Amino acid sequence: MKVSEKREFVGEFYLPRNPGHKIPGTLKIGLNGEVRLETFGNFEPFPKNETQRYLSLINGEVTDVGRVALIDCCYRSESVPLGGSPKKAIIDARYALCNLYVAYENREEIKFDTLHFSVEHLRKWFNFAGTNSQQRSTKHGSDMKELLDIVGTTMTGDDRTEKFTINNIPQKSIIENLDDGIKLQFVLDANLFRSVDEVKITQNAFIKITSDRPRPLSYFTDLVGKTNTFLCLAIGEIVCIKDVVVPKDGQHPTVQIYYQSFVRAEKYQERNFSGALCQFQDIEENFPAIFNDWIKNYELTRPTYSLYLSCRMERVKSLEIAFLSLVQALENLHEAGRELYGWPKNNGLEGKLKKLIFTFEDLIPRDQVDVWNEITENAVGVRNYLTHYNKPEFKEKSENLSVIDALYRNLEAMIQLHFLKQIGFSNQKIASILKRAHWLSLGTALRWPYQGK
């Protein structure tokens, strides 16, 4: 998940089985939701084996956010000054729950029936509008006071006043009923901020997960992760989750949740929305069936999309390794296709790649078929040279980053096209996507062949 800035909370922490033994410490939240506790003193003697290193729950009371719970904790290190105690320990946690209304006795008690979270570019993916504005210019005059009292009015240097009228358009929530008693609700929330000289309307799109019964936090975060992966592929870029909360309920305050999700950025940055691979309107009619199938088949395709998104997140620093990871992702995708579509078994990489590519044969212009065969041959040769060094004829191409980059981008298109196929797009509908997603144009074979320049 994405956090706008690092956060630190100072307080006292204790184990549920020994609430009287509280030790001071600092709870630290990283930019990617990493949760770390640094304590001055130990809850108990430093663990001597792996089993003892694990603590299922740590409770605490800290500044600014009140009562907290750290779930699935593990000792990382312990330091002892030369003079002896006090000892300092570093403990990592899977989750941090802040602003709790009760101290839990064990992690099994921590269950919820509702969770909210947001995702970058979610509003634009849904094409939520929410506001519109009108503008007109007026000379200074008898209506000067009236103009200065109007929301959004600004004065220009040419003795004119620009008058803005901003209208908030309430957006109807999109509610989708899924299997297993789960409901997804897509909401556009608008907030008005007003001061003496400023008025703001801010909008935030978020997803609300509602369950028909209380469930462990891990159930919700697992569903959030699957939704996040789906949106990364649909939007066509890495988008991070943020603002994960259990909403206010009666007398219970909003609970903020921090954890490190699989999809994350190296550093916090705002990204522009450059257009999606497919938008919600493209799948709106059959969304419940599409998303239920996505959840059902997630474990089949997880290796493929995890490898691919790792490359997109730049966790892989070398282009050669990114290429090898992508080839492995495509091999995994072929194996998933055997389960999803009944494809026959194929032991060779070349045969697997051709099956993946020529599934879209009617979308490939006839004059490009030989080009895609050449791409397949080179992808196999370069992969084999980089892993086994047993294809000396591909040595020159394997050492040329321009060749590897061209191969990578062509094979990346296969990942994206098969995602569209998996969520129910026919080749005819994919063809309409290709018209607007110019980077997926099979007719140009994506900067191939490389001319050796």
The pLDDT tens digits for 179-216 are 999 999 998 776 666 776 666 666 778 999 999 999 99
Whether residue 175 is found in the same domain as residue 231: yes
Whether residue 354 is found in the same domain as residue 418: yes
Whether residue 164 is found in the same domain as residue 217: yes
Q: How far apart are CA 60 and CA 127, in angstroms?
A: 42
Whether residue 92 is found in the same domain as residue 222: no
With cut-offs at 50, 70 and 90, classify the pLDDT of residue 439: low
Residue 431 is assigned to a structural domain of this protein:
yes
The H-assigned helical ranges of 119-162 are 122-126, 144-148
Whether residue 343 is found in the same domain as residue 372: yes
Does residue 428 have a pLDDT over 80?
yes
Residue 272 is assigned to a structural domain of this protein:
no
Residue 2 is assigned to a structural domain of this protein:
no
pTM exceeds 0.75, yes or no: yes
Domain end residue (candidates: 109, 129, 163): 109
Q: Which residue has the higher pLDDT, 335 or 433?
A: 335
Whether residue 403 is found in the same domain as residue 306: yes
How do residues 322-338 score in pLDDT, each as one tens digit?
Answer: 999 999 999 999 999 99
With cut-offs at 50, 70 and 90, classify the pLDDT of residue 390: confident
Whether residue 118 is found in the same domain as residue 245: yes
Residue 264 is assigned to a structural domain of this protein:
no
Domain that holds residue 380: 297-440
Q: H/E element holding 224? A: helix 217-235
How do residues 102-156 score in pLDDT, each as one tens digit?
Answer: 888 888 889 999 999 999 888 888 875 544 444 433 333 333 233 223 344 444 4
Q: Please give the tally of structural domains in the chain.
A: 3
Whether residue 97 is found in the same domain as residue 117: no
Burial letters 64-102, b for 16+ CB under 10 A, else e: ebebbbbbbbebeeeeeeeeeeebbbbbbbebbbbbbee
Whether residue 100 is found in the same domain as residue 17: yes
Residue 399 is assigned to a structural domain of this protein:
yes
Residue 273 is assigned to a structural domain of this protein:
no
With cut-offs at 50, 70 and 90, classify the pLDDT of residue 38: very high
Strands of 131-139's sheet, edge to edge?
131-139, 160-168, 154-155
How do residues 260-300 score in pLDDT, each as one tens digit?
Answer: 999 877 654 555 566 788 889 899 999 999 999 999 999 99
Q: Which residue has the higher pLDDT, 367 or 212?
A: 212
Does residue 243 have a pLDDT over 50?
yes
Residue 100 is assigned to a structural domain of this protein:
yes
**Residue 53, domain CATH:** 2.40.10
State CA 354 to chain mean position distance: 30
Whether residue 359 is found in the same domain as residue 397: yes
Which amino acid would we find at residue 100? Answer: L
Whether residue 121 is found in the same domain as residue 195: yes
How would DSSP label each residue in 58-85? EEEEETTTEEEEEEEEEEEEEE--TT-P
Domain end residue (candidates: 93, 109, 125): 109
Domain end residue (candidates: 205, 235, 259): 259
Q: Average the pLDDT over 378-403 and give the result.
A: 87
Whether residue 183 is found in the same domain as residue 303: no
Question: Quick check: 190 and 168 in contact, CB under 8 A?
Answer: yes
Residue 184 is assigned to a structural domain of this protein:
yes
